[in-house]
Amino acid sequence: MKIAVSGKGGAGKSTVSAQLVRCFTLHQMPVFAVDADPDANLGLVLGLDPEKVDNLRPLIELQDVISAKNAGGGSFVDLNPDVDDVLDNYTLREGALRFLKMGGLKQGGSACYCKENSFLNAILTTMLLDRPEAVVLDMSAGIEHLTRGTARGIKAMLVVVEPSRAGVSTARAVDHLCADLEIEQVLFVGNKIRTEEDRAYLVNSLPRERFTGMIPFSENVLDRARRGEGLVSSMADLLPGLEKIYEMACGR
């Protein structure tokens, strides 16, 4: 089961991603939790040890590994390197969970960074198309890590949207990017909903049949975020609506 989560900055991508990851681990299902947002904070929202999260090297920074995998020259696309060892050695493990940071794609003078970017693409291809584990990708609104090739592996793209004009506008932009990548199932998740007006605003602004849930504003989530605590230690800690979103994303 491979799920991607996107939306405007601050909309709640990492919160929803972390809750989904916990749905998998609470069901003892192996899952990769992937921080693919350059402004990375998924590890902390998951409640992992901050020092370990800090010390984990983003994959794009693994120059030594990237050079070794690319020893023969050429691009990764041609070489199709075996990157299973990277997934074993550069991830933080906690029970059924494996956490990794992608790091931002290298921009500018793209030729010089071709190796790094195609290395990330090889990792995503392996995780999304070859490996049996579930994947939850916490992505920025640009979803720039995905290509048409890797997007084929995504079962559902969840677009987290706050009830604001800017939130809706970003959600539409993400929806267009997903259409370009031919992602079949793009679902909206309303977040930080306080009133019936919030809910009505969202379903009147975006295709209502594609909403898979409305998550209420929660003081508890904010409190835990302030204290740097993880969000979920049992099913009872899941935000209202989350389990349904999980089941829908999993196609049940």
Ligand X SMILES: Nc1ncnc2c1ncn2[C@@H]1O[C@H](COP(=O)(O)OP(=O)(O)OP(=O)(O)O)[C@@H](O)[C@H]1O
Write down the least CB distance from residue 137 to Mg ion, Å.
Answer: 12
Sequence-distant contacts of 242-248: CB under 8 A, at least 24 apart: 242/16, 242/19, 242/20, 242/23, 242/213, 242/215, 243/23, 244/212, 244/213, 245/16, 245/20, 245/158, 245/187, 245/189, 245/212, 245/213, 246/20, 246/23, 248/156, 248/187, 248/212, 248/213
Binding part of the chain for Mg ion, among 8-16, 120-128, 185-193, 234-242 by CB under 5 A, reads: 8-16
How far is Cα 184 from Cα 178, in angstroms, rounded to an integer? 8
Write down the least CB distance from residue 12 to ligand X, Å.
Answer: 4
Render the burial of 196-217: b for 16+ CB within 10 Å, e for the rest: eebbebbeebbeeeebbbbbbe
- The partner in contact with residue 221, picked from ligand X, Mg ion, none with C-beta cut-offs of 5 to 8 angstroms by kind, is ligand X
| Interaction site with ligand X (CB under 6 A) | 7, 9-15, 37, 39, 41, 191-192, 215, 217-218, 221-222, 225
Write down the least CB distance from residue 153 to ligand X, Å.
Answer: 22
Q: Which is nearer to ligand X, 45 or 86 (CB)?
A: 45
Binding part of the chain for Mg ion, among 40-48, 116-124, 224-232, 242-250 by CB under 5 A, reads: 40-48
Binding part of the chain for Mg ion, among 39-47, 56-64, 153-161, 215-223 by CB under 5 A, reads: 39-47
Options 7, 12, 14, 249; binder of Mg ion; rule CB under 5 A: 14
Contact positions toward Mg ion, by CB under 5 A? 13-14, 41
